[in-house]
C-alpha cells in the first residue's frame, strides 16, 4: 500500500531552496576556514605572534678552552638575567629587589619608567636566581644566559684573558680567538601570557639553539703552569718585586708549556679587572733590558761572525774606558785573562765589551733581528709587544758594548726565552705557539699548531759550545743557586738596570734567570724575571735562580727526566 | 485534508545529496580541527623535549665546571699533601750512563708467521688470532 503523504504546500518547497542556500553558505564558510587554517595571511600571523610571542636575544655558550691534557680551563655555565618591563611593573614592588640585588637597584625601579625594557641584574648564578624566582613578582622577568667561568681561578689567567658581560673576549686567548669561541646571541621565542609575562618555555617555534662556537686546546700543561705560578708568586713576594714573569717552552717544538705573570688575578671576580698592574701580561706585554741573560746570545753572534772563538782571550781589569763612558764589572772586580767560556761563567762585562768591538754592527744588528728581537714572536695571544732595538746607525760610542751586555735593548721575556731556546735545540729559532688544536662546533679540526722554524740562527757546533758554557755557569759560575742534583741545568743569570729619563737609576733592577734542562738533551727552556725587587737581594743569581731551581725540581716530580738517557742501543 | 501519492522516490536523491555534502564538509572540518589540535599537541611535545634537551645541556655544563674544578692541579696538590700526607720525592736523580759500557735488554718483536695452509685458512679461531695480533 502506497504511503500517503500530505501534499506539500508551495511555501514549504520554497523553504528547501533556503536550506540549499544555507548548506551552500556553510560549505563556503568551511572552505574559507580550511583555507585560513592551511594558508593564513602573513600579516595576521605576525600580529598574533606579537601578541602571544616575545623574541628575546640571548647569549649562547662560548667555546671551551682546554689545556694540553684536555682539562677545561674556561667554560660557560648557565646563569639567569633579570629584566623589568615597565608596562607590567609596579614600582611598589621595588622593595622586594633590595634584598637580593641591593638598595641602589631597588631605588632605581621604585619610580615609573618610560620604555619597555630595563636590565635589573645580569648573569646571576642559577642557584641564587632560582631561590628568588619563587616570589613571582609581576613585571620582573628572567632570561637564561651563559656566564664565562674559569674553574681554576687564577690559573693561566693571563693566557686565557677574560670576557665582558656579553661574553665577548677582552684579553688573552679569549680576545685573540674570539672569532672561534664566540657564538653570536640568537633570538629566542618565548610565550607571553595574558598579563604580558614572558615564559621561557622553549616553545616549539624556538627549538634548541645550536651552538656555533668552536673549542680550543692549548699547549699549556696546567700542572706546569700551576708550579710556575706558585713559585713565581712566592719568589716575587719574598723579593718584594713589583712585577714578575715566567715562561716555559719546549725548545724542540716551540710549544708554550707555561706562561705566568705576577701579580696574577682571578678573572671570575670582575672587581679584580680594575687593577691594571694585575691585568697586564708581563710575559708578552712588558719590555725590559735583559742584562746578562743576553750574553749567551751576543756571544753566539760573535762566534758565528768569527769575531770570537773558543781560544779567544780577554783581559778584564774590572773597569774599561770606552768612548765617553766607563764600563765596569760588578763591584769592579777584575777577572784577569779569561777565555770565552769563563767570560760567560763570570758574566764579565769587560770581556763582552771587548768582544763587541770585533763584530760588524750591521751584521750584529741583522743577527739580533734574526733572533727575533725588535719584532713580535707572533704568538697567538693579544697584547704582545715587539721590544726595541736601535738601528745600526745608532750603534755608536758605547752602544754596541752596552747591547752585548744586555743594556740598551728592550726585549720581552718570551723573546728572550725563544732566543735561548735556539741554543737549546741546536740553533733553530722557532715560533712559539699556544694553540695545539682548534675545533669547530661539529668537532672538526680546523687548525693545528706545530713546529715552525724561523731561522737557523747559529750552527749546531756553536749551540753545543754555548750549552756547555751555560751548564758550567750553573755548576761553577754565577748561577750556582740554580744547581740541583735532580737534573742538570744550563742557564744564565742577569741583573739589568732600569733606565728612566735617559739615565740608569740605582736601586731599580730587573733580576732574571734563563736556562734549560736536562742540559744534555733539553726538554724545557724557561725564563724567570722579577722587576724592581725592593729587598736587600736583587741579583738574578740570588732571587731568580732559586725560583728557577724550585720550578725545575717540581716539574721533575710530575715529569721525570727521560728514561732514554739511560738507554743504549742493542749491539 | 487532501492526500496525494508519495513522490519521495523522485525527491530522495536531492535531499540525500545535501545531507552527504553537509556531512562531508562537517567531517572535513572536524578532521581539520583534530589535525590542528594534534599539531598543537605535537608542538607541545617538541617544546617539552626541547626543554628537556636544554635542561640536560645546562646540567652538563654545570657538571663540566665541577669536573674541571676537581681536576684543578691546586686542588689535587693540596688534597695529596693535606689529606693523603704525600710529600715530594727527594730521591730523584738523573744518572747519565755511558752508552759504550752498558747494554740494556730490549724487547724484540718477531714478525708473526703468515698462516697459509688450507686448514689454517678455514679455521675461524686462527683468523681471529691473526686479527688480534
Instruction: Label each residue of A261-278 as H, E or C.
Output: EECCCCCCCHHHHHCHHH
Among A residues 225-244, those touching chain B with beta carbons less than 8 Å apart: 225-227
Calpha distance A351→A318 (Å, rounded):
10
Calpha distance A437→A219 (Å, rounded):
9
B111, pLDDT greater than 80: no
The DSSP secondary-structure symbol of A371 reads T
Question: Which of A46, A89, A43, A56 lies closest to A191 in space, CA to CA?
Answer: A56
Say which residues have a Cβ less than 8 Å from residue A474's Cβ, sequence separation at least 6. Answer: A480, A482, A483, A489, A490, A491, A515
Calpha distance A449→A300 (Å, rounded):
29
Contact predicate A145/A165, CB 8 Å:
no
Calpha distance B43→B36 (Å, rounded):
10
* Residue A204, pLDDT score: 43
CA atoms within 13 A on the CB side of A27: 13
Residues of A in contact with B32 (CB under 8 A): 33-34, 37
- The alpha carbon of residue B31 is apart from the nearest alpha carbon of chain A, in Å, by 10
Calpha distance B66→A127 (Å, rounded):
14
* B64 contacts A204? CB cut-off 8 A: no
Strand pairing class (A215-218; A65-66): parallel
* A71 contacts B47? CB cut-off 8 A: no
- From the CB of residue A459, how many other CB atoms can be counted at a distance below 10 Å? 14
Residue A396 phi/psi, 5-degree rounding, is: -130, 160
Q: Does A276 touch chain B (CB under 8 A)?
A: no
ipTM: 0.71
Question: Which of A210, A214, A215 lies closest to A60 in space, CA to CA?
Answer: A210
> Would you list the domain boundaries of chain A?
222-562
Among B residues 29-48, those touching chain A with beta carbons less than 8 Å apart: 29, 32, 36, 43-44, 46-47
| pLDDT, one tens digit for every residue, chain A (571 residues) | 455 555 555 565 666 788 888 888 888 887 887 787 777 777 777 766 666 666 566 667 889 999 999 999 999 888 888 888 888 888 888 888 887 888 888 888 888 888 888 888 888 887 788 777 777 777 888 888 888 999 999 999 999 999 988 888 999 999 999 999 998 876 666 666 655 555 555 444 445 556 788 999 999 999 999 999 999 999 999 999 999 999 999 999 999 999 999 999 999 988 888 888 899 999 999 999 999 999 999 999 999 999 998 888 998 888 888 877 888 888 788 888 899 999 999 999 999 999 998 899 999 999 999 999 999 999 988 889 999 999 989 888 889 999 999 999 999 999 999 999 999 999 999 999 999 999 998 889 999 999 999 999 999 999 999 999 999 999 998 899 999 988 999 999 999 988 877 777 777 899 999 999 999 899 999 999 999 999 888 899 999 999 999 999 999 888 766 554 433 333 2
Q: Which CATH number fits domain A222-562: 2.60.40.3880, 1.10.3720.10, 3.40.710.10, 1.10.340.30?
A: 3.40.710.10
Q: Does A17 touch chain B (CB under 8 A)?
A: no
* B18 contacts A202? CB cut-off 8 A: no
* Residue A97, pLDDT score: 83
C-alpha distances out from residue A464 to A112, A253, A415, A488, Å? 78, 18, 21, 15
> At B127, is the pLDDT very low, low, confident or very high (cuts 50, 70, 90)?
very low
DSSP-derived secondary structure for A9-74: PHHHHHHHHHHHHHHHHHHHHHHHHHHHHHS--HHHHHHHHHHHEEEEEEPPPPPPEE-TTS-EEE
DSSP-derived secondary structure for A373-396: TTS----S-TT----B---GGG--
* Residue A195, pLDDT score: 59
Say which residues have a Cβ less than 8 Å from residue A514's Cβ, sequence separation at least 6. Answer: A293, A416, A417, A420, A491, A492, A494, A525, A526, A527, A528
Residue A217 phi/psi, 5-degree rounding, is: -110, 125
Pick from A5, A27, A208: which is nearest to B25 by CB?
A27
- From the CB of residue A449, how many other CB atoms can be counted at a distance below 10 Å? 21
Q: Which residue has the cell 710529600?
A: B87
- What is the average pLDDT value for chain B, to the nearest integer? 71
Q: How many residues does chain A have?
A: 571
Amino acid at each position: 500500500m502506497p504511503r500517503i503523504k500530505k501534499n506539500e504546500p508551495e511555501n514549504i518547497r520554497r523553504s528547501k531552496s533556503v536550506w540549499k542556500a544555507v548548506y551552500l553558505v556553510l560549505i563556503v564558510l568551511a572552505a574559507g576556514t580550511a583555507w585560513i587554517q592551511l594558508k593564513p595571511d602573513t600579516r595576521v600571523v605576525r600580529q598574533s605572534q606579537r601578541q602571544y610571542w616575545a623574541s628575546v636575544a640571548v647569549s649562547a655558550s662560548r667555546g671551551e678552552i682546554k689545556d694540553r691534557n684536555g682539562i677545561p680551563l674556561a667554560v660557560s655555565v648557565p646563569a639567569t638575567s633579570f629584566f623589568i618591563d615597565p608596562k607590567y611593573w609596579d614600582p611598589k614592588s621595588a622593595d622586594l629587589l633590595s634584598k637580593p640585588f641591593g638598595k641602589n637597584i631597588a631605588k632605581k625601579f621604585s619610580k615609573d619608567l618610560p620604555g619597555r625594557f630595563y636590565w635589573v641584574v645580569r648573569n646571576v648564578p642559577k642557584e641564587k636566581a632560582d631561590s628568588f624566582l619563587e616570589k613571582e613578582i609581576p613585571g620582573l622577568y628572567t632570561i637564561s644566559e651563559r656566564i664565562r667561568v674559569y674553574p681554576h681561578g687564577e690559573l693561566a689567567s693571563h693566557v686565557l684573558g677574560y670576557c665582558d658581560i656579553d661574553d665577548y673576549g677582552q684579553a688573552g686567548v679569549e680576545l685573540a680567538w674570539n672569532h672561534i669561541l664566540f657564538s653570536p646571541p640568537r633570538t629566542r621565542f618565548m610565550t607571553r601570557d595574558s598579563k604580558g609575562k614572558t615564559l621561557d618555555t622553549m616553545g616549539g617555534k624556538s627549538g634548541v639553539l645550536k651552538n656555533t662556537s668552536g673549542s680550543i686546546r692549548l699547549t699549556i700543561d696546567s700542572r706546569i703552569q700551576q708550579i710556575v705560578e706558585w713559585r713565581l708568586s712566592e719568589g716575587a713576594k719574598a723579593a718584594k718585586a713589583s712585577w714578575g714573569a715566567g715562561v716555559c717552552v719546549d725548545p724542540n717544538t716551540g710549544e708554550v708549556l707555561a706562561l705566568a705573570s705576577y701579580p696574577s688575578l682571578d678573572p671570575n671576580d670582575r672587581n679584580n679587572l680594575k687593577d691594571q698592574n694585575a691585568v697586564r701580561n708581563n710575559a708578552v706585554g712588558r719590555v725590559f733590558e735583559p742584562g746578562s741573560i743576553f750574553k749567551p746570545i751576543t756571544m753566539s753572534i760573535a762566534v758565528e761572525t768569527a769575531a770570537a772563538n773558543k781560544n779567544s782571550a780577554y783581559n778584564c781589569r774590572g773597569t774599561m774606558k770606552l768612548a765617553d763612558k766607563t764600563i765596569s764589572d760588578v763591584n769592579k772586580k777584575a777577572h784577569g785573562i779569561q777565555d770565552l767560556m769563563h767570560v760567560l761563567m763570570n758574566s764579565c762585562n769587560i770581556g763582552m765589551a771587548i768582544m763587541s768591538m770585533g763584530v760588524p754592527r750591521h751584521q750584529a744588528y741583522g743577527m739580533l733581528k734574526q733572533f727575533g728581537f725588535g719584532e713580535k714572536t707572533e704568538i697567538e695571544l693579544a697584547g704582545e709587544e715587539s721590544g726595541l732595538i736601535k738601528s745600526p746607525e745608532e750603534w755608536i760610542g758605547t752602544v754596541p758594548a752596552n747591547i752585548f751586555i744586555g743594556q740598551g735593548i728592550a726585549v720581552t721575556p718570551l723573546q728572550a726565552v725563544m732566543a735561548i731556546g735556539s741554543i737549546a735545540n741546536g740553533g733553530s729559532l722557532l715560533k712559539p705557539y699556544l694553540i695545539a688544536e682548534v675545533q669547530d662546533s661539529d668537532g672538526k679540526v680546523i687548525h693545528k699548531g706545530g713546529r715552525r722554524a724561523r731561522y737557523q740562527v747559529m750552527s749546531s757546533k756553536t749551540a753545543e759550545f754555548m750549552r756547555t758554557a751555560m751548564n758550567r755557569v750553573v755548576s761553577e759560575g754565577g748561577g750556582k743557586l740554580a744547581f740541583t742534583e735532580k737534573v742538570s741545568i744550563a742557564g744564565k743569570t742577569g741583573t739589568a738596570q732600569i733606565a728612566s729619563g735617559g739615565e740608569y737609576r740605582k736601586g731599580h733592577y730587573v733580576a732574571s734567570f734563563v736556562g734549560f734542562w736536562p742540559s744534555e738533551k733539553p726538554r724545557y727552556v724557561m725564563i724567570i724575571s722579577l722587576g724592581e725587587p725592593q729587598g736587600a737581594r736583587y741579583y738574578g743569581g740570588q732571587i731568580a735562580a732559586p725560583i728557577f731551581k724550585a720550578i725545575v725540581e717540581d716539574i721533575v716530580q710530575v715529569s721525570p727526566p727521560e728514561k732514554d738517557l739511560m738507554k743504549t742501543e742493542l749491539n | 485534508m487532501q492526500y496525494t501519492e508519495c513522490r519521495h522516490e523522485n525527491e530522495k536523491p536531492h535531499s540525500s545529496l545535501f545531507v552527504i555534502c553537509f556531512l562531508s564538509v562537517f567531517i572535513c572540518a572536524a578532521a581539520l580541527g583534530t589535525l590542528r589540535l594534534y599539531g598543537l599537541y605535537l608542538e607541545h611535545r617538541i617544546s617539552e623535549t626541547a626543554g628537556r634537551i636544554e635542561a640536560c645541556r645546562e646540567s652538563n655544563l654545570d657538571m663540566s665546571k665541577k669536573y674541571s674544578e676537581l681536576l684543578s692541579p691546586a686542588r689535587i696538590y693540596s688534597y695529596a699533601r693535606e689529606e693523603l700526607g704525600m710529600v715530594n720525592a727527594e730521591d730523584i736523580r738523573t744518572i747519565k750512563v755511558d752508552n759504550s759500557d752498558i747494554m740494556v735488554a730490549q724487547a724484540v718483536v718477531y714478525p708473526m708467521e703468515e698462516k697459509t695452509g688450507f686448514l689454517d685458512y678455514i679455521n675461524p679461531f686462527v683468523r681471529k688470532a691473526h686479527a688480534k695480533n
